[in-house]
Structures are given as structure tokens and as C-alpha cells.
């Protein structure tokens, strides 16, 4: 069993059939990470002795300078024996609910739009998660695990739901949408992610979502609606798509206590041509947020998730609006 020594923290842990970052997180160590799929580069560490192999060839989170400095990605590196590494652990990355792998059976599927489905899995070994967190799904016929956010809130931790948008030609969503059947079993590893609901934040909540970003924002809204600490807080939810057929979420939010009084849903489409009868907003998610809340934006705790172009535009708008960075919560998957 490979032993990993973190030289600058004077710590050791075992990493067997796992990546260096995930094995550390399972032990309750604050190994830095974000995307868990080799994209963001947050999990870089320096290999001082020993040998590792990356799961993903040429991961985008590592550049030539990193390679020259003997740096690797914790979320991709598996040890070939004992290793000594240097990495700055931070409590921020410690998981309240330790991530673990378990088998999970597909127990339900529902259509939310023409290309978004909700997949409901029953875990063989239950585990809790915080609203807004994500899991790694290992799917049949798909190389490497894929990150998807949960849409529900856990009470017993035995059911994890995911709202996922089909990616045309995408290996993982083709497997989920076309191949996996009710009763089939996959492996789920989680929970992960730092973009979870802050119940101690004394502010109203703004959720901004597009595409599969619906899933973690629905979880945040559900968690906030149920949280005793957040009962006095408003929840503003903006969901954007291209046309009316892409829009969903109101049916779920309208079942929450406080919908219409302290919980408000603002749908938006970016391509209004041919959308006769549309009564929601027209524009991009970041523009609608700015139009609705303008100078009040710094008073919100903001959660956002969606395609890269949407997330980047939202981030730019929020920084320009002077929303403190500590009030912004998102996971970078790209
Ligand atoms: Fe490893 Fe993002 S590259 S967590």
C-alpha cells in the first residue's frame, strides 16, 4: 500500500487504488482541489521522490512550466509506490462529509426539458452531502469519471439526484441518456466541491444557472428554503436558456415553502426570435441579474453554475458590481 509523505506538513497517509488528492480528502486532509477532472490546476503538487502516473494524458490543468518543476495534479496522479510530495494543505478544502466511493442503482429518470433529465440513484452505502456539492460518476463505456452536481438535499444520504443536460455527441451523457437503464448500477464517488450553501452567511441568496448548472442551484435553493438559519432570507433564482423549450425549474421551486413570497424565479431566454407568448426575461443570465438587482448585488451571497461562457460573464459582472469575492461560490469544471 503506497505511503504518501507530505514533507512540508510532516504528515503521512495511504493511497491505494486512488489519486493522491482524493485519498487525502477521504482521510480528512485539506488537499487543494476544485474540478477533480484535471482542468483547473488547483491540485498541483511537487513530487520530491517516488513515481506517479496521471489518469488523464496531458491534462489542461498542467502547463510546461509545471512539468519542468516536477509538478503533477493531485486529482489525476496515482502513486506507483511510496512518494514524498510538497503541497500546501488548507482547512478550506476539508470535507464536512468525507468523500467515498459506493455502488449506486439508478432508481428513477424524469424529463425536465427536451435535453435535461433528472437521474435518481440509490446509494448502496449512504453518505451525506451539502447543498451545491458534486460527485464523480463512473459510467459504463466511458473512460474516467465525470463530475455532476447533486440537485436534491440529503436527509439519510441514501438518495442522490442529478439534473443533467445532454451534450450532443458527449460520451458521458450518451451513456447516461441512451445506455443506462433503471436498475443498472454505477459507481458514485463524493461528495466534493466548495460551492456549497453557506448557512451562516447573513445575506439574501442569488442563484444564477444555465444548462446542467440547474442541478446545484436547485440543491442550494432547496437547502436554503429548509434551513432554519436562513428563514428570513430571500432566494432569487435566475435560470437562462436559449429558447423557451430550454427553460425549467419553476415546477420544482414552486413546491418549496415560501415560493412567491421570499423565493422568486426569474427565467430568461437569450434568443427571443420566434418565442411568441414568452413572458419571462430576454437576455443573458448576467444581464438579467444586473438589471434586476444592480446596486444591491453586493448584499447577496451569490451561487452560480453553468456553461463556461455564462460563468465567465457572471463572474465579470459580479466583480464589476463590487460583490466581495468571499460572497461568490462556484466550482470551475473547465
Ligand atoms: Fe485537479 Fe482541478 S485539476 S482539481
Give 166-173's long-range contacts (Cβ < 8 A, gap of 24+): 166/115, 166/116, 166/117, 171/141, 171/142, 171/143, 172/137, 172/139, 172/142, 172/146
**What is the per-residue pLDDT across 164-218, written as a single tens digit (0 to 9) for each?**
999 999 999 999 999 999 999 999 999 999 999 999 998 999 999 999 899 999 9
**What is the per-residue pLDDT across 92-128, written as a single tens digit (0 to 9) for each?**
999 899 999 999 999 999 999 999 999 999 999 999 9
- The span from the CA of 151 to the CA of 222, in Å, is 9
Q: Which residue of 18, 37, 57 sits with most ligand 1 atoms within 8 Å of its CB, as the best mutation to test the pocket?
A: 37
Q: What share of the chain is helix, strand, coil (3-state, %, to 5)?
A: 25, 30, 45
Q: Is residue 197 part of a domain?
A: no
The region, left, alpha or beta by phi > 0 then psi within -120 to 50, assigned to residue 157 is left
187 Cβ contact list (under 8 Å, min separation 6): 101, 102, 103, 104, 137, 138, 145
CA 35 to ligand 1 center in whole angstroms: 5
Q: Which residue of 75, 90, 195 sits with most ligand 1 atoms within 8 Å of its CB, as the best mutation to test the pocket?
A: 75
Residues 183, 262, single domain; the answer is: no
Q: Which residue of 23, 31, 41 sits with most ligand 1 atoms within 8 Å of its CB, as the best mutation to test the pocket?
A: 41
Q: Is residue 18 part of a domain?
A: yes
- The closest-lying atom of ligand 1 relative to the alpha carbon of residue 332 is 2
Residues 135, 88, single domain; the answer is: no
DSSP 59: -
| Domain end among 135, 170, 192 | 192
| CATH number of the structural domain spanning residue 112 | 2.40.30.10
Closest CA to 302 of 269, 330, 322: 330
Reported pTM:
0.95
CA 175 to ligand 1 center in whole angstroms: 24
Residues 177, 289, single domain; the answer is: no
- The span from the CA of 318 to the CA of 315, in Å, is 5
Residues with CB under 6 Å of ligand 1 are 33-36, 38-43, 61, 73, 75
- The sheet with strand 3-6 has its strands ordered as 11-14, 3-6, 83-86, 44-49, 71-73
Query: Which residue CA neighbors atom 3 of ligand 1 most closely?
Result: 38
| Domain end among 63, 93, 123 | 93
Residues 104, 88, single domain; the answer is: no
pLDDT at 155: 77
In this prediction, residue 334 has a pLDDT band, given cuts at 50, 70 and 90, of low
The number of distinct structural domains making up the chain is 3
Residues 73, 117, single domain; the answer is: no
**What is the per-residue pLDDT across 46-98, written as a single tens digit (0 to 9) for each?**
999 999 999 998 999 999 999 999 999 999 999 999 999 999 999 999 989 99
Residues 244, 300, single domain; the answer is: yes
CA 308 to ligand 1 center in whole angstroms: 16
Residues 230, 306, single domain; the answer is: yes
Q: Is residue 198 part of a domain?
A: no
Which residues form the domain of 110?
A: 100-192
Amino acid at each position: 500500500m503506497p505511503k504518501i509523505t507530505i514533507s512540508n506538513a510532516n504528515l503521512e497517509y495511504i493511497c491505494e487504488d486512488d489519486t493522491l488528492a482524493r485519498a487525502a480528502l477521504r482521510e480528512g486532509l485539506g488537499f487543494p482541489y476544485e474540478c477533480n477532472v484535471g482542468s483547473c490546476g488547483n491540485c498541483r503538487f511537487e513530487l520530491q521522490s517516488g513515481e506517479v502516473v496521471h489518469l488523464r494524458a496531458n491534462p489542461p490543468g498542467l502547463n510546461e512550466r509545471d512539468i519542468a518543476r516536477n509538478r503533477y495534479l493531485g486529482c489525476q496522479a496515482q502513486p506507483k509506490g511510496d512518494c514524498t510530495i510538497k503541497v500546501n494543505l488548507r482547512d478550506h478544502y476539508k470535507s464536512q462529509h468525507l468523500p467515498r466511493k459506493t455502488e449506486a442503482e439508478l432508481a428513477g429518470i424524469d424529463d425536465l426539458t427536451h435535453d435535461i433529465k433528472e437521474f435518481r440513484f440509490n446509494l448502496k452505502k449512504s453518505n451525506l452531502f451539502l447543498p451545491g456539492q458534486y460527485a464523480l460518476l463512473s459510467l459504463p463505456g466511458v473512460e474516467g469519471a465525470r463530475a455532476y452536481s447533486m440537485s436534491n438535499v440529503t436527509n439519510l444520504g441514501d438518495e442522490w439526484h442529478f439534473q443533467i443536460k445532454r451534450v450532443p455527441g458527449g460520451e458521458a451523457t450518451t451513456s447516461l441518456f441512451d445506455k443506462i437503464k433503471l436498475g443498472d448500477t454505477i459507481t458514485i464517488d463524493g461528495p466534493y466541491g466548495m460551492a456549497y450553501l453557506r448557512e451562516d452567511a447573513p445575506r439574501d441568496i442569488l442563484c444564477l444557472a444555465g444548462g446542467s448548472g440547474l442541478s446545484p442551484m436547485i440543491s442550494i435553493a432547496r437547502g436554503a428554503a429548509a434551513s432554519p438559519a436562513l428563514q428570513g432570507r430571500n432566494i432569487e433564482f435566475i435560470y437562462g436558456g436559449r429558447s423557451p423549450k430550454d427553460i425549467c425549474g419553476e415546477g420544482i421551486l414552486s413546491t418549496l415553502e415560501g415560493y412567491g413570497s421570499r423565493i422568486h424565479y426569474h427565467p430568461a431566454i437569450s434568443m427571443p426570435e420566434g418565442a411568441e407568448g414568452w413572458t419571462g426575461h430576454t437576455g443573458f443570465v448576467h444581464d438579467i441579474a444586473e438589471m434586476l438587482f444592480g446596486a444591491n448585488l453586493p448584499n447577496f451571497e451569490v451561487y452560480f453554475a453553468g456553461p463556461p461562457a455564462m460563468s465567465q460573464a457572471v463572474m465579470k459582472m459580479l466583480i464589476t458590481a463590487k460583490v466581495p469575492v468571499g460572497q461568490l461560490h462556484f466550482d470551475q469544471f473547465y
